Amino acid sequence: MVSDPDDDIAARPLRSFGRIKSRAIKPRQAALFDTLLPGIALPDPKAGPIDPSSLMPEASGVWLEIGFGGGEHLAAQAARHPTTVMIGCEPFLNGVASALRHVEEGGLSNVRLHADDARDVIAALPDASLDRVMILFPDPWHKARHNKRRLLSDAVAIEIARLLKPGGTLRFVTDWADYADWALERLERTPGLVRIGNVEDWHAAPADHFVTRYEEKKLGDTAPIFLEFRRA
């Protein structure tokens, strides 16, 4: 009998993301893994706790983007907020390569990248250390038997609430209606999180939202849905 790898939950957490590489990475971007990434890579979260204040001592705040895709949004926000440390986590290597290109071209010194599972970083960060957490268009895992792989579980929502400073915010965006309902249900029952933003029209984008090429492809079954929460 062949065992289902999904049953091995005790040994390792379920992957909340799909493939980690697709097409070959262009030579110029591949070179940035050796020249640029070592200088802006987040400390290994498996080696011990991460002190956000050590990433950029003069920073006025710390933001975390979980699953930054191609890095367009992360780079845009970093450019808009040069005194804020932007931590980005993404296991998809082609996306990391793209983000490195954006960082280089923008001359961005306030970006720190983790090219792996964001949950390791979440576990390594201290309480009340983040001003904002952003989760934009995470893998939806459509099939009911795969829903347990969705990033935004009750456990992750509780961890996000732990990481946010009082008044800190969470932004969750998806273009799949079922995932929006799933996320809203879990966030609303998470102690310490209070819904904010345009509650009447969850399709209304916040003023500082940056539209990426991925969003413009309209791959989901609904217009983007924005869920905003504040740490009480």
Tell me the binding residues for substrate.
143, 175, 212-215
Element holding 34 (H helix, E strand): helix 27-35
User: Torsions phi, psi of 93, nearest 5?
Assistant: -65, -35
Residues placed in the known binding site? 65, 90, 117, 139, 143, 175, 212-215
Q: For residues 121 and 87, give the distance between their C-alpha atoms in angstroms, rounded to a whole number.
A: 10
Q: For residues 146 and 4, give the distance between their C-alpha atoms in angstroms, rounded to a whole number.
A: 12
- Annotation marks residue 139 as catalytic: yes
Instruction: Say how far residue 110 (Cα) sits from the centre of its chain.
Output: 16
Which amino acid is present at 225? Answer: I
Residues placed in the known binding site for S-adenosyl-L-methionine? 65, 90, 117, 139
* Strand order across the 225-231 sheet: 111-114, 84-89, 61-66, 130-136, 164-174, 225-231, 193-196
- What lies within 8 Å, CB to CB, of 209 at 6+ separation is 173, 226
Of 114, 191, 194, 115, the residue nearest 159 (C-alpha): 191
Q: Which of 139, 181, 208, 221 is catalytic?
A: 139
Active site residues: 139
